[in-house]
Amino acid sequence: MVRARGVAVAALACLAAWAPPPASAQPAAQGRVLFLEGCATCHGDDARGLPGQAPSLHGVGARAADFYLSTGRMPLAEPRTTPVRAPPQYMAAERRALVDYVASLGGPGIPDVTPQRGSLAVGFQQFTSHCAGCHQAVAQGGVVPDDVAPSLQQATPRQIAEAVRVGPHVMPAFPESQIDRHELDSIVRYVLSTRSPPDRGGWGLGNLGPIPEGMVAWLLAGAALLIVLRLLGERSRP
Amino acid sequence: MSRQAPSHDVLRFLDERLLTNRPLRKALRYVFPDHWSFMLGEVALYAFIVLVATGVFLALFFEPGLDKQTYAGPYAPLAGREVSAAYASTMAISFEVPGGLLIRQTHHWAADVFVVAIVLHMVRVFFTGAFRKPRELNYLIGVTMLALAVFEGFLGYSLVDDLLSGMGLAIAYGVAMSIPLVGGDLAHLVWDGEFPGSAVIESRLYIAHILLLPAALATLIGAHLAMIVRQRHTQFRGPLRAEDNVVGTPAWPGYALRSTGLLLIVAAILVALGGLVQINPIWEWGPYEPWQGTNGAQPDWYLGWLIGALRLMPPVEVVIGGRTVLPNPFFGGVLFPSVVFGVLYAWPWLEQRWLTRDLRRHDLLDRPRDNARRTAAGAAFFAWVVTVFAAGAADRAFLSTGVSYTTQVWVFRVAVFVLPAVVYVVARRVARELALSARALPRAGGRG
Amino acid sequence: MSLPRRLAEAVVVLALIARGRRGRRREEEPVDEGGPEEGRPFLREVGARPGAERAVAALLFASALASVAFVVVFFTGADTQALGIALAAALGLLGAALAVAAAAVVPREQAIERRPRLAHPEAEPPVRRRLATAGEGVSRRRLLGTAGLAAGATLTGALVVPAASLGPAVGNSIAETPWRRGRRLVDEDGRPLLAADVPATSFLTAFPEGADPRELGAPVIVVREDPARLRLPRARRGWAPQGILAYSKICTHAGCALALYRRPLYEPVSQPPGIACPCHYSVFDPRTGGTVLAGPAGRPLPQLPLAVGPDGELRAAGGFSGPIGPSWWGVRET
């Protein structure tokens, strides 16, 4: 019966997406319902976490909730597994409700980010110092044994900013005292620029470095040369 | 004098001064055996020629200095960054010199393909037994050239002082330091102090790369070719072919035209890559600083076997009497390549002693199936090196396949022992089967 | 026609006839065709295959066009891809022309030659005899031999000696880092680091004030851990004021910078904190004094003792706990 009620409320929340947003207490209440249904098994009914399963959500703020929900990393199908980017399980309105609920538990809001105001040069330098070690120089992703620092080619500017501040999973969280607003704008601007690299040299091979280059040397050049040699070398037989 | 065809006058002119007629007669009639796999060495030679030609161009623009300057070129993300003269001049070649990026990328692709061609050529030489008496010396020269080519390539891309190659130089320093007894002093001699060393290290890399190693390679190539001419090239068995003759295409006109055509086609392939496929985009990595690093850092392909070895080795360090006798990088960075090259160098004699007991001279080649144990040993050895090589890309494989890095490392540690053994048995079996079936069927002029 | 004109004509005609006559007269010189060790064709296919000559000509002209295109592109923007295509076409078409000419235009021949006999053991005795004449009549062989060896060996040694000036002996240089007791930690821009600047959730890179940041012993990675969870060796109990830790940023495996910091958001479901290296994935534990958690590094990460000055500034409280950088012969600790 609780389930049926939950579904009904979820449907209402979807419909509510078309209606003007009601007073702030309402989404939080809707969010709490969704929370109880989809998150409380691990995070506890009171959102104070269950030891060994999931952390408390008190004080994490809207920014953490928005990051995890909009990138589909939460809800986790199985507790204790690594959260990975996936299509979000909740629709936008539901996500807003959940975020509002978590925000009501206290914590920082969603960061403002304006990439156009950032500087590419500052962003490249900051990214190299703080991010490239895990995410690779042009944000193609990397390995932090035994986890993955994902490629940033799909993240939105807001999600990047949220991740920098939240430090999800095993990522460090960089506060404003370390990376200020302008630097954050710049980092986001730089990451966005890695989606359209100049690639003046031709086919970029995914901008992954010498591994695909070696493959081209063997599988393209090597193969082409073997074909050429076969063509040249088969001469009339006596 | 006589008024015959102009070539007659030239020939007479040269012969009266330089005694050219007889050598020319021999050279024009020199017979080249025809098999396509004999041209792999030529491909390597032509890649070397492209390297020298493009290298000369680059040397006219590259500044081998480590003194810092503020980047003032057109690539926006680097604006205001402190970069070395080496990095800045390479950026200028890539972004500002017309045709600069084409030549630079052609040069780098030529280096990668140079080693590909050498390896393919070496594989052909090995599996056909071309290294046997009287060609052991030439084989040693070939193995040496492989080592030099790998080293030369490493020096070349390390000149640029970008983040990727700088990390590689740091590892080279670590490996040098790991040599027992002398490693510390040796590394500090080369780098003029502790890594990253003084500014002179760039000069040393540069001189080694544009003078010392090319001169050594050119000399060895000359000796390699001279020996082939002296001994004549080997050939496969076939109609009319015997141990004491050579059957094939004469140098003029057939082979000269074909070979020159191959030179141009190799150059064309390398230039096509240089213009169409990006390689070593140093602007994406940024300049090197010893306190910075990037994930996914890899050396060029022909050093992948060493990064694999360094990553696979468990955290063993041999400490005796308070001294670290064998630091960890020694195993992957010194011992492993020494064993690989040691086996390569010693192979003609290892085979004589343990496999064939054959001390005769051979000018006719084996097909791989004709010597099953050599073929199996070579395949197993190759599988061993390739397994270590593949381990070097395990992090990328983790990202692509999801198989955890640690699991892969353990799998590779087992595979390094198991796979060569399996390959040996399978290859020997296959070779023997092929040899048996070939003998059962009537021979139709089989040419390998 | 005028007389001078006719005379000139006659002279030209006579000269041509004389030239023709001379050409027809055979040179009376012997012909040396060489021995069996020179190639002789035994199979010849003469005559171009149908269409081959035209194909070669077409390829050559196409190559010429490509070369012209290369020059044009070079002076009109020099786009890398266009330049590459043009030059590759010029080279490749010319190469193809030569290859087709070899295969289908010039005579296709198979030739045979005898291999030169490589060994001449009959010539060995005279060689040995001639070599031995150096010793004829020489009585003090052992003396001369020893003296010669001494001279040769010492000269070779002497010539190698200047290589020692290539660089310094390693000596104690690795133990000498720019860190001293009381030296302030500064960031990449030279600004002093306050203890309050060190976040609990990320990492910083710091350098000794006034030192060359490129020195291998200079960079340190600074993190803050919960003091209750630290398990440092007893001798280092005071090294982490407020739980702030500093370690050398240079990996003790092969010398790369430790650019990875693994900081779990919720530790029970993640791996513990670790400072890791992107080169061969060595991982060091900041809570236990830099011990190796994973990877091939054979030595823990050297730790720098910290102190917080009265102004809140972070200062070094001494030198590193061990030699920094890659292990080598002279490293005495594990």
Number of domains in chain A: 2
- Least Cα separation, residue C271 to chain A (angstroms): 8
Any domain includes A18:
no
Which residues have C-beta within 8 Å of that of residue C9, sequence separation ≥ 6?
none
What pLDDT does residue C323 have? 93
**C172, part of any domain:** no
Going by C-alpha positions, the residue among B44, B189, B174 that lies closest to residue B117 is B44
Claim to verify: residue C198 and residue C316 sit in the same structural domain: yes
Say what the pLDDT of residue B92 is.
98
Q: Which of C43, C204, C263 sits opposite A170 (nearest CB)?
A: C263
pLDDT at residue C26 is higher than 60: no
Q: Cβ–Cβ of A236/C278 closer than 8 Å?
A: no
A4 domain-assigned: no
Judge whether C326 and B332 are in contact, CB under 8 Å. no
C-alpha distances in Å from residue C260, one per residue of A152, C169, C269? 17, 33, 20
Contact A54 C199 (CB under 8 A): no
Note whether A145 contacts C203, CB cutoff 8 Å: no
Q: Does B38 touch chain A (CB under 8 A)?
A: yes
The reply to whether residue A203 touches residue B277, judged by beta carbons under 8 angstroms, is yes
Residue C171, in any domain of the structure = no
pLDDT tens track for B126-166: 999 999 999 999 999 999 999 999 999 999 999 999 999 99
Asked whether residue C148 carries a pLDDT value surpassing 90, the answer given is yes
Q: Which residues of C are less than 8 Å from A238 in CB distance?
A: 42-43, 110
pLDDT tens per residue, range A44-94: 999 999 998 899 999 999 999 999 999 999 999 888 888 999 999 999 999
Give the model confidence (pLDDT) of C90-119 as tens digits.
999 999 999 999 999 999 999 999 998 888
Spatial distance between the Cα atoms of B110 and B103, rounded to a whole number of angstroms: 10
User: Which of B77, B113, B116 is the closest to A120 by Cβ?
Assistant: B77
Does A193 lie in the same domain as A121? yes
Is residue A225 in some structural domain? no
Cis peptide bond prior to A75, omega within 30° of 0: yes
Same domain membership, residue C153 and residue C198: no
Residue C291 has pLDDT above 60, yes or no: yes
pLDDT at C312 over 80: yes
User: Which of C83, C257, C298 lies at the smallest CB-CB distance from B102?
Assistant: C83
Whether A103 and A55 share a structural domain: yes
**Which pLDDT score is estimated for C23?**
47
* CA–CA distances in Å: residue B218 to residues A47, A233, B43, B51, B210: 73, 26, 15, 12, 12
Q: Which of B180, B196, B310 sits opposite C254 (nearest CB)?
A: B310
Question: Residue C326: which of B185, B250, B329 has the nearest Cβ?
Answer: B329
* Burial (CB count within 10 angstroms: exposed 0-12, middle 13-18, buried 19+), residue B294: buried
Do A115 and A99 fall into the same domain?
no
Total domains in the fold of chain C: 2
Residues 265-284 of B with CB under 8 A from C: 265, 267-269, 271-272, 274-276
ipTM greater than 0.90, yes or no? yes
> Cβ of B296 under 8 Å from any chain A Cβ?
yes
Q: Does one domain contain both C218 and C156?
A: no
Chain B CB contacts of C81 under 8 Å are 275-276
Does the N-terminal peptide bond of residue C305 adopt cis geometry, omega within 30 degrees of 0? no
- Three-state DSSP state, B323: strand
Tokens 């010189």 sit at which residue?
C29
Closest Cα of chain A to C164: distance in Å? Answer: 36
Percent of chain C topping pLDDT 70: 92
In a domain, A181, yes or no: yes
What is the pTM assigned to this prediction?
A: 0.91
Considering only the beta carbons, identify the residue of B35, B38, B296 that sits closest to A140. Answer: B296
B353 touches chain C (CB under 8 A): no
Q: Let me know if residue A224 belongs to a domain.
A: no
d(CA A199, CA A203): 7
CB contacts < 8 A (A, C): 94
DSSP string, B150-168: HHHHHHHHHTT-BHHHHHH
- Specify the pairing of strand B318-320 against strand C260-262: unpaired
CB contact under 8 A, B79 and A121: yes
Shared-domain flag, residues C97 and C212: no
Instruction: Assess contact for C296 and B309: CB atoms under 8 A.
Output: no
Residues A63 and A129 in one domain: no
Which residue in chain A is spatially nearest to C205 when comparing CA positions?
Answer: A129
- The pLDDT, as a whole number, for residue C117 is 85
Nearest CB among A134, A143, A236 relative to C108 is that of A236
- Residue A116 domain-assigned? yes
The answer to whether B301 faces chain A, any CB pair under 8 Å, is: yes
Same domain, C55 and C152: yes
Closest residue on chain B to A130 (Cα): B292
The mean pLDDT of chain C is 91
Contact A174 C201 (CB under 8 A): yes
pLDDT on residue B3: 60
Q: Which two tokens stand for residue B333?
A: 């960075």
Minimal C-alpha gap between C305 and chain B (Å): 19
Distance CA B184, CA B194 (A): 9
Q: Which two structure tokens, joined as six digits, stand for B293?
A: 């690093």
**Cβ pair C39:B31 closer than 8 A:** yes
Q: Is residue A82 part of a domain?
A: yes
Q: Give the per-residue pLDDT at A5.
A: 59
Q: Is B96 on the interface with C (CB under 8 A)?
A: no
> Do B327 and C298 lie within an 8 Å CB cutoff?
yes
State whether C115 and C196 are in the same domain.
no
What pLDDT shows up at residue A192?
A: 97
Beta-carbon separation of C197 and A146 below 8 A:
no
- Cβ within 8 Å, pair B292-A129: yes
How high is the pLDDT of residue A78? Answer: 86
Tokens 């400490």 label which residue? B319
Instruction: Say yes or no: B298 contacts chain A, CB-CB below 8 A.
Output: yes
- The alpha carbon of residue B110 is apart from the nearest alpha carbon of chain A, in Å, by 9
pLDDT band at A6 (very low <50, low <70, confident <90, very high): low
Torsion of CA B187, B174, C305, C236, to 10 degrees: -120
Q: Are residues C155 and C221 in the same domain?
A: no
CB pairs under 8 A between B and C: 313
Whether B267 and C91 lie within 8 Å, measured CB to CB: yes
For B175, other C-beta atoms within 10 Å of its C-beta total 23
| Inside any domain, residue C260 | yes
Domain ranges, residue C211: 185-330
Mean pLDDT of C194-205: 94
Q: 């009109």: which residue's tokens? A: C76
Mutant choice from B46, B270, B283, B291 vs C, greatest count of C C-beta within 10 A: B291
- Rounded CA-CA distance C192/B227 in Å is 67
Compute the 3-state secondary structure of chain C and give helix, strand, coil in percent, each to the nearest 5: 40, 15, 45
Q: What angle do CA C182, C188, C192 make, to 5 degrees?
A: 35
The pLDDT confidence band at residue C25, using thresholds 50, 70 and 90, is very low
B306 inside 8 A of chain A by CB: no
Contacts of B29 in chain C (CB under 8 A): 34, 38-40, 111, 113
> pLDDT tens for residues B30-85?
999 989 999 999 999 999 999 999 999 999 999 999 999 999 999 999 999 999 99
Verify that A101 and A124 share a domain, yes or no: no
Residues C199, C243, single domain; the answer is yes
Q: Is the pLDDT of residue A236 over 80?
A: no
Do C133 and C8 have their domain in common? Answer: yes
CA pair distance B178, C298, nearest whole angstrom: 12
> What's the pLDDT score for residue A27?
64
The tokens for B11 are 């020939």
pLDDT at A8 > cutoff 60: no
A118 and A102 share a domain?
no
Q: Is residue A230 situated within a structural domain?
A: no
Q: Quickly state the pLDDT bin for B444 (edges 50, 70, 90).
A: low
A143: nearest CA in chain C? Answer: C278
pLDDT band at C24 (very low <50, low <70, confident <90, very high): very low
* Token pair recorded at residue C178: 């720019």
Q: Summarize the confidence of residues C79-100 as an average pLDDT.
A: 97
Q: Do B295 and A149 touch (CB under 8 A)?
A: yes
Q: Which domain holds residue A98?
A: 24-110
Chain B residues whose beta carbon lies within 8 Å of the beta carbon of residue A148: 398-399
In the structure, what pLDDT confidence band is assigned to residue A237 with cuts at 50, 70 and 90? very low
Residues of chain C neighbouring B105 (CB-CB closer than 8 A): 80
Residues C160 and C206 in one domain: no
Structural domain contains residue C231:
yes
CB count, 10 Å around CB of C282? Answer: 29
Rounded to a whole number of angstroms, the distance from the CA of B359 to the nearest CA of chain A is 31
Whole-angstrom Cα distance, residue B347 to residue C178? 50
User: In the prediction, which pLDDT does A132 show?
Assistant: 97
Segment A204-214 mean pLDDT: 96
Q: Do C72 and C38 contact (CB within 8 A), yes or no?
A: no
CB pair distance less than 8 Å for B249 and C109: yes
Mean pLDDT of C176-195: 94
CATH assignment of the domain containing A188: 1.10.760.10
Cβ separation A168–C265 shorter than 8 A = yes
Q: From chain C, pick out residues whose CB is under 8 angstroms from the CB of B405.
A: 281
Do both C220 and C324 map to the same domain? Answer: yes
Q: A145 vs C283: CB contact, 8 Å cut-off?
A: yes
Contacts of B80 in chain A (CB under 8 A): 121
Tokens, residue B34: 């025809």
Q: Is residue C173 part of a domain?
A: no
Region C283-304: mean pLDDT is: 96
Q: Which residues of A touch B447 (CB under 8 A)?
A: 237
Question: Could you tell me the CA-to-CA distances from B367 to A88, B102, B448, C126, C238 in Å, in that order?
Answer: 60, 41, 6, 41, 71
One domain, residues A80 and A94: yes
The domain that contains C270 carries what CATH number?
A: 2.102.10.10
Do A106 and A121 have their domain in common? no
B264 and C94 within 8 Å at the Cβ level: the answer is yes
Per DSSP, the three-state class of B327 is coil
| Same domain, residue pair A166 and A190 | yes
Same domain, C113 and C191: no
Question: How far is C257 from A149, CA to CA, in rounded Å?
Answer: 18
* Residue from B184, B183, B201 nearest B192 by CA: B201
Query: Is A222 close to B294, i.e. CB distance below 8 A?
Result: no
Which of B115, B122, B175 is CA-nearest to residue B150?
A: B115
3 state SS of B228: helix
Whether C156 maps to a domain, the answer reads yes
Fill in the DSSP letter of residue A197. Answer: -
Query: Per residue in A102-134, pLDDT tens?
Result: 999 999 999 999 999 999 999 999 999 999 999
Identify which has the larger pLDDT, B9 or C11: B9
Token output for C287: 């809570």
The pair of three-digit structure tokens given for residue C145, joined into one six-digit string: 């031999």
